Amino acid sequence: MMEVPQIDLKIHNRAIKKEIFQLWEEIFDSGSFVGGEHVAGFEAEFAMACNVQYCVSVNSGTDALRFIFLALGLRPGDEVITVPNTFIGTTEAISQAGGKIVFVDVDPATYTMNPEKLESAITSRTRGIVPVHIFGHTADMDAIVAVAEKYGLWVVEDACQAHLAEYKGRKAGSLGIAGAFSFYPAKNIGACGEAGAVTTNDARLAERVGMLRDHGQKDKYRHQMEGYNGRCDALQAAVLRIKLKYLPGWNEARRKNAGFYIRKLKSVDSMRLPEVAEGCLPVFHQFVVQIDNRDVVAASLREEGINTGCHYPIPLHFQEAYSHLELPTGSFSVAETCAERFLSLPMFPELTTEQIVYVCERLQAAVEKLGRK
């Protein structure tokens, strides 16, 4: 039996351990733990990587979203449209900035926001739209932005799973008024702790996010507003500077692994494989299939030493936190079906051909076994 983790952070970080520790030693010796050259350096380098003018580092992807909404002047009762098949951080940021969550269903092929559902969800209180680039595949941004422009709305990208993903040659985080990124350790580029970033071409928005993350101050002890303690520290920024150099190669390895999975699994019955929309270059933060009897299959793989995931087993409109929205079963049928059928297979850059073959063989055997019952 072969052990295959769903993600292996130990092997991922071990290869660059010396580089990280060298920079950390320099930071320890300097005593500059908050702000400084590594924070500024990472912001400049990530902005360049995303083809935007500004990057403001923060302490999480959730704060990145929340600070964007606050900087845009979201007011209590303002409606923001997003999708129900995402991590709760997307909607927490809307609510905690004072907004009201409005859901629309997702596209059955890419699992990203379905632009055809948008106009029916727009009201006089709608202020903005938040497409989620789920699993590293960008949403249909041209169609979404067209609807937003028609109704005078802003578009903020939840790009927390889509570092350097592309849409028609443009980078995630450069496609709306702002983009939010998470550098949680399991992301395609992860910190050794918590971190996040806001990307934008809007100078005023970048300035306001910069103040919001630092107690509302632009200059020390001069507070233009109340803000938050939402900074990214120098230790995390140093890690991210190192990892950013490797990110294009890591993403390419993920795409190669995804292609191998697809070739090996294309003949398996009752399984739907990921699809890539025309003009999109995904980064496969997760490799997610749809499959019947998902929980039974996952248990079978676990017995064979294969760890899988499920993103996300309970759609947000079914979470107790949002029971007040009173959205019944069937409200968003595609997202609900996905929640029942999604299975996330092992996916990380260092995944070997031998491991992928083993996963595919055991997965096919589990499916065939169920088919004989």
pLDDT band at 100 (very low <50, low <70, confident <90, very high): very high
Which of 27-36, 91-100, 312-321 comes out lowest in average pLDDT? Answer: 27-36
Query: What confidence category does residue 372 fall into, taking pLDDT thresholds of 50, 70 and 90?
Result: low
pLDDT of amino acid 84? 98
Say what percent of the chain tops pLDDT 90: 96
For residue 370, name the pLDDT band (cuts at 50, 70, 90): confident
Q: Above 70 in pLDDT, residue 373?
A: no
Please report the DSSP string for 248-313 in residue order.
HHHHHHHHHHHHHHHHHHTT-TTEE-----TTEE---SSEEEEETTHHHHHHHHHHTTB--B-S-S
- 214-240 core/surface letters (b: 16 or more CB in 10 A; e: else): bbebeeeeeeeeebbebbbbbbbbbbb
pLDDT digits (tens, 9 = 90+) for 209-257: 999 999 999 888 999 999 999 999 999 999 999 999 999 999 999 999 9
* Arithmetic mean of pLDDT, 94-102: 98
* Entry field: residues in the chain: 373
In one letter, which amino acid is 267? Answer: S
**Domains of the chain from N-terminus onward:** 9-241 (3.40.640.10), 248-372 (3.90.1150.10)
What integer best gives the mean pLDDT of the chain? 97
pLDDT at site 347:
98
The stretch 337-354 carries a mean pLDDT of: 98
Tell me the pLDDT tens digit for each residue of 174-220: 999 999 999 999 999 999 999 999 999 999 999 999 999 999 998 88
Q: Which residue has the higher pLDDT, 39 or 373?
A: 39
Confidence of residue 139 (pLDDT cuts 50, 70, 90): very high
| Residue (of 65, 117, 70, 67) closest to 86 by Cα position | 65
Report yes or no: 205 and 179 within 8 Å, Cβ to Cβ. Answer: no
pLDDT at 298 over 80: yes
Confidence class for position 368, pLDDT limits 50, 70, 90 = confident
Taking residues 121-139, report their average pLDDT.
98
Nearest to 61 by CA among 188, 201, 205: 188
**Alpha carbon distance 70, 235 (integer Å):** 27
d(CA 21, CA 26): 9
d(CA 219, CA 200): 21
For residue 221, cis peptide bond before it (omega within 30 degrees of 0) = no
Whole-number pLDDT of residue 68: 98
The predicted structure's pLDDT at residue 269: 81
Tell me the C-alpha distance between 133 and 153, whole Å. 19
Claim: this prediction has a pTM higher than 0.75: yes
**For 24-42, what is each residue's pLDDT tens digit?**
999 999 999 999 999 999 9
Confidence of residue 105 (pLDDT cuts 50, 70, 90): very high
- pLDDT tens by residue, 251-275: 999 999 999 999 999 999 889 999 9
